[in-house]
């Protein structure tokens, strides 16, 4: 079964999502239409991809050929767009951050439940084979009791942010790199280690003229394990997540390089093949719409990730620790 989708937002990331599946053999989703704030900039690309550019989001929702929408739009628009799509009977794939506050995330999820449509959130690192290995080793006791998680997701994105760009707006990018990068690591920590209980945050612009370029968090999980996490918006690209347990330490650096240091025995290093995680997440979305396996990011975890983000914003502004709303 082929899922006919519309791409809403045809900037760099919207085009990346489409390019990962459009015309690919075996892909269960295709893009037939879409909308964008700058149609002239996207017209040639859309023509090459055989995507009809519609005047606006309302036109996308009214199009009978469109069964699902993929949202690659500014963060603050997501909740309203998800709710409108659900009420129009369209399945929804939404890029991260899901929303910027827990209440709107919960309202969006409820709208999808009431409409009986699938909602999927684009945290693509869940589809890495190395992450599946980490989760399996946590479950089988290879690490013993988890004591601490260390996360780092940074990159140079803010170098290109100019005043007037939506990503350079502090209302759209609170805590600097959290919206574009760091929220992925928050989801990864939830996926691997469970829910957060409390966060303390320092965030400021040391160099950037637009958004915070340095954001660091100390957190406590419901399990009692601690977390330290940073996202920097003016460095070379870097991804690392490490799990420290009583029986072993697992470190994923980049998407493919996983190392394990046991308390006893020989350490090992594994290198995994590169995975097209954008194609994988869209295929999982299409499979869920078709009645197959549920999308592998439960909506309660999607809401909790937003609750962590919201608590981080409050903690940074107040200079104090914030509890994460359950």
Which of 320, 244, 310, 280 is CA-nearest to residue 75? 310
Tell whether omega for the bond before 187 is within 30 degrees of 0, i.e. cis: no
The tokens describing 93, both together, are 């794939």
Contact 158, 210 (CB under 8 A): yes
* Burial of 89 from C-beta contacts in 10 A (0-12 / 13-18 / 19+): exposed
Beta-carbon neighbour count of residue 26 at 10 Å?
Answer: 7
Tens digit of pLDDT per residue, the chain (326 long)? 899 999 999 999 999 999 999 999 999 999 999 999 999 999 999 999 999 999 999 999 999 999 999 999 998 999 999 999 999 999 999 999 999 999 999 999 999 999 999 999 999 999 999 999 999 999 999 999 999 999 999 999 889 888 888 887 888 888 999 998 999 999 999 999 999 999 999 999 999 999 999 999 999 999 999 999 999 999 999 999 999 999 999 999 999 999 999 999 999 999 999 999 999 999 999 999 999 999 999 999 999 999 999 999 999 999 999 999 87
Domains of the chain: 3-124 (3.40.50.720), 125-274+295-323 (3.30.360.10)
Distance separating the N- and C-terminal Cα atoms of the chain: 38
Triad 177, 6, 80: Cα angle to 5°: 55
């Amino acid at each position: 079964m082929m899922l006919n989708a519309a791409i809403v937002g045809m900037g760099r990331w919207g085009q990346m999502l489409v390019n990962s599946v459009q015309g690919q053999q075996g892909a269960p989703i295709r893009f037939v239409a879409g909308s964008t704030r700058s149609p002239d900039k996207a017209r040639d690309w859309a023509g090459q991809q055989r995507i009809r550019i519609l005047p606006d989001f309302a036109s996308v929702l009214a199009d009978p050929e469109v069964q699902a929408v993929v949202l690659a739009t500014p963060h603050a628009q997501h909740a309203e767009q998800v709710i409108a799509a659900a009420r129009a009977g369209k399945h929804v794939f939404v890029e991260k951050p899901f929303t910027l506050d827990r209440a709107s995330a919960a309202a969006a999820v409820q709208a999808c439940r009431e409409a009986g449509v699938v909602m999927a959130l684009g945290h693509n690192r869940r589809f890495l084979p190395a992450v599946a290995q980490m989760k399996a080793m946590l479950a089988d006791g290879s690490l013993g009791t988890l004591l601490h998680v260390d996360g780092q997701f940074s990159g140079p994105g803010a170098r290109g942010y100019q005043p007037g760009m939506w990503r350079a707006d502090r209302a759209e990018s609170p805590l600097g790199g959290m919206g574009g990068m760091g929220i992925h690591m928050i989801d990864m920590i939830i996926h691997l280690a469970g829910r957060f209980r409390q966060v303390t945050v320092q965030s400021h612009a040391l160099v950037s003229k637009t958004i915070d370029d340095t954001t660091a968090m100390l957190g406590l999980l419901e399990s009692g394990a601690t977390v330290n996490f940073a996202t920097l918006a003016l460095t070379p690209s870097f991804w690392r997540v490490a799990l420290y347990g009583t029986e072993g330490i697992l470190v994923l650096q980049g998407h493919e390089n996983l190392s394990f240091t046991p308390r006893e025995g020989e350490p090992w290093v594994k290198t995994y093949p590169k995975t097209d995680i954008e194609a994988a997440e869209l295929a999982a979305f299409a499979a869920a719409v078709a009645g197959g396996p549920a999308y592998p990011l439960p909506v309660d975890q999607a809401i909790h990730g937003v609750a962590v983000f919201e608590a981080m914003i409050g903690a940074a502004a107040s200079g104090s620790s914030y509890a994460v709303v359950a």
